[in-house]
Structures are given as structure tokens and as C-alpha cells.
Amino acid sequence: MKYFIGIDTSTTATKALLMEKSGHVLSVAASEYSFETPYPLWSEQDPALWWSATVTSIRQILADTGISGEDIAAVGLSGQMHGLVLLDEDDRVLRPSILWNDQRTGTQCDQIRERLGFKNLVQITGNNALTGFTAPKILWVRDEEPDIYDRVARVLLPKDYVRFKLTGKYAIDKAGGAGTLLFDIRQRDWSSEVLQALGINPNWMPETFEGTAITGLISSTAAQETGLREGTPVVAGGGDQAAAAVGTGAVKEGIVSLSLGTSGVVFATTDKASIEPEGRLHSFCHAVPGKWHFMGVMLSAAGSLRWFRDSFSPGTDYDTLVGAGAEIPAGCDGLLFLPYLTGERTPYPDPLARGAFVGLTVRHKLPSLTRAVLEGVAFGLRDSFELMRSAGLSEINQVRVTGGGARSSLWRQILADVLGTELVTVNSVEGAAYGAAILAATGVGVFTDVESACERTIRVTGTTSPSAEQVVYERLYPYYRDLYPALKNTFKNLAS
């Protein structure tokens, strides 16, 4: 058997990817669904949607290729992190899943910091208490839905509910576990100190596994629904960002992944559990066994460009819009853009942060503003790189850029100049699902380890090196850094 399936359970769709052991992708299918916002700041989803979409997507890739489920050697899983799935003793879902982008748990985050102490919390878990994480969601259910809380028997993440439906086993990968705020990231397992301090029953938490470990086998029921062979191994996989890093080959120190999608994610593998002491970076276990990673998250990266286009030049295609910006000199004649259109996460975990153009004059026309948006996002992403260096990331040899924004040669050049490092594109474009398939193949012995798997399947397709304009951005970056401290109180006052 030489075929492998990667499944990515995201917020809007479940994707299934069929890969040969050479790394060649044969088919990809995605089944979409929606999520609910019953109240302001809430975000929920019915776990039944994930399972139905998983079944549909698996059957689609098998039908598209004519490959039998009997020929699938292993399945790997990935998916949205931090979401809360609660099961009772009979494995029934107790309430809709509270998703990663739900913002209702501010009070519970304060409780967590108070009970554990901020610095102690960061040193154990690698992270500050943020509303997106799983732990404050559990406390919210305890505080606001005690009847449900009293019936809890199991806590799972979204992709691990899919795992349960596939195998009947309760399990979680260590990358996903680290994103719950209940992990001791140095020990790569649940923190008894955090669980005890928060009063969370450790028996609710599933067993944890490295990303390439086999966590269970396809059950007879799942085989009938999906068309897969009963007994097919299901590998742990990883949270979406960790699996996507595997899918781009960012699996060893010195290679950094930069995802330029609606949000921007800077992902750097580390050989030890390094922690940014103020919790301004996420520090999680990697899907690669025995490795960790830093992660910085910008909430509006390519999303800033979409907002700008839709607001000021609706109907214009991105190539035309950005192409005009290429005629503007670096620095836009003293114009800066602060890309905090939806608040910010790194380096400022501030939901009240706002966007701004600073330095506008009558000389600035649409192309200048367009380029300022591209440069402002690049400066914001550099913030994560600077934090990683200060937290102990010794070297950055190469940045692998992915996402819709990476299709722009101008934006790639600006990023290379602002970051002062080489940017490359790679042949893999399916991200987390591809990474999950690589982890599956490694888990059943096709590859010796994840690093060698990536070397054999992923190759560089393009390179962008810093240009002479790098010196302009070095001069402007400190001015960009001055903006948030100068405007923080103004943002807070305006939000009120």
C-alpha cells in the first residue's frame, strides 16, 4: 500500500488529501460548512459537521482517483486548534464546540492568571492566557453552564473528535495539547499543576502522542462510512499550524515559515522549549517529535490588503492594484500604515488596537496607500521575528513564504527587504493536509523521520533576496515601532 490520506478539519471546511509515498498529491477534496455566532463575540460549531464533511471528502478523493480504501496505508490528522469539544460518559456531544476565534472568556483568562501567577503560567505553558485557548473555555462552561459541566467525561479538540469517530479512541497530538494552555511544554504532557489550580479533572484529558505515533485504527463503523479499510492506522498528526509547517518543510532550526493569508503567521522550529518571558509569542510543542516552535500571529495581514481594496478600489484586481504600488519608492514618501484592523495578537495582545495611516499628505495617492499597506504588514511581521531573536532563536537562514499574499512578487520583495533575509517559495501548497499526510507516511515507516520526509518531498521553487532598498526599511522600522505606544491610549478611548 503506497497511498496516504491527510485530513484537515478547519473552521470552514474539512479537506482530505490523497498522497503517494513519493509525496505527489493525487487528489484534494473539501467539504464546506458554517459556524454560528449566537451572541456577539461568540463562535460555535456543531461537531457533527466535521464528521459528515470528513466522510464526504474521503469518499470524494477515493472516487476521483479510483483508488480503493483497501490501498490506503495510513491516515494523518490536522485541524483548527484550541476549540472545545465536551463529551459525556456515553460519548455524546454535550454542547456545540466553542471555537478558537470565540472571545467570550476574558473573565476566565483573568482567573487563570490570578490562580497561577502570570510569570508562572508563562513558564509552565509557554503562553499567556488568551481568550482563544481551550482552558478558559472549560472554565466558562463551569461558570455559565454548570448543568453541562457536571456531565463532562471527556475533553477533545476538533480534529480529535474526528479521530474518535474514526477509531473510537481518545487521543491528542502534543502540538494540539500545547495549544490548550493546560500543557507543561517542557515535559510535553498535561501539567498537573495547571489542572489542579484550575480544578479541571485530569481524567477528562486524552492521552497525548507525538505527531508520527499511531493513535488508533479505523473502526468497522468508520470503515463502512468512509470506504477506508478497517484496521488502517490513524497517526496523531498536529494542530493546523504545526502540520502546515511540516507541509512546507519548516521542521528544523533556521528555516522559518511565514504564512501570508488573511492573518499572518510566523512559525519557527526550535530544538528546545524556548519561552518569550512576557508571553508575547506562542510557544508550543511541534508536530515533529522532540521539537518545539515559536509562533507569532498578526490578525490582519493579507486581510489588510483585502480591506483596502474593497474599501477604496472595489472591483480592481489585486495584480492591477499592487502593480501600481510598485511604481512608488520604498517608504512611500514618509507614509506608514499600522495594520491592526481587527485588534492584534503579536506583539501586542490588544483587541482594542486599531489601524492607521500616519504621515498622509496631499501628495499621497492610491498607489502610495497601497504600497504603505504592503510595507505596514511587513513591518508588523518583522515584530515577530525580532521577538523570536530576543527569546533565543539563534539564526534564521531561510523564510518559506506561503498563502495568497505570497503570490505578489512586490510583496515578497518588500518582505525580504524588511526582514533582511532570503524568502523562498516551495512546491507544496496544500498546507496542513499535506503535512498530515507526511506525518502519516512517516508514522508507518515510509520515511525515517519527518526531516528526511520533507527533504524528499518538498523543494524550493523560487527565491527572493534583499535588495538595496533594505537600508530604507531599516531606517523606517523604528518609526513604525513608535506608532502603537503613541496611539495605545487613543485606541482605548475611541473603543469606549
* 293 and 264 assigned to the same domain: yes
* 198 and 259 assigned to the same domain: no
Structural domain span for residue 180: 3-243
* 486 and 401 assigned to the same domain: yes
* 196 and 162 assigned to the same domain: yes
What does the alpha-carbon distance between residue 369 and residue 380 come to, in Å, rounded to a whole number?
16
Q: Kindly list the distances between the CA atom of residue 425 and the CA atoms of 59, 175, 264, 407, in Å, as whole numbers in the listed order.
A: 31, 25, 16, 9
Q: Report yes or no on 292 lying in a domain.
A: yes
* 354 and 490 assigned to the same domain: yes
CB 116 within 8 A of CB 50: no
What does the alpha-carbon distance between residue 280 and residue 121 come to, in Å, rounded to a whole number?
13
- Asked whether residue 238 carries a pLDDT value surpassing 90, the answer given is yes
* pLDDT on residue 396: 87
Q: Active-site residue among 8, 240, 383, 417?
A: 240
* 228 and 324 assigned to the same domain: no
- Asked whether residue 50 carries a pLDDT value surpassing 90, the answer given is yes
* 126 and 188 assigned to the same domain: yes
pLDDT digits (tens, 9 = 90+) for 382-409: 999 999 998 888 788 889 998 888 889 9
Q: Is 319 a catalytic residue?
A: no
* 385 and 489 assigned to the same domain: yes
The last residue of a domain, from among 243, 274, 297: 243
pLDDT digits (tens, 9 = 90+) for 305-358: 999 999 999 999 999 999 999 999 999 999 999 999 988 889 998 888 999 999
Output the DSSP codes for 65-91: HT--GGGEEEEEEEE-SS-BEEE-TT-
Nearest to 236 by CA among 219, 212, 207, 206: 212
* 254 and 158 assigned to the same domain: no
Residue 124 is part of a domain; what is its CATH number? 3.30.420.40
* 177 and 308 assigned to the same domain: no
* 238 and 293 assigned to the same domain: no
Q: How many domains does the chain have?
A: 2
- Asked whether residue 30 carries a pLDDT value surpassing 90, the answer given is yes
Q: Report yes or no on 131 lying in a domain.
A: yes
pTM above 0.85, yes or no: yes
The last residue of a domain, from among 210, 243, 276: 243
* 238 and 310 assigned to the same domain: no
The last residue of a domain, from among 205, 223, 243: 243
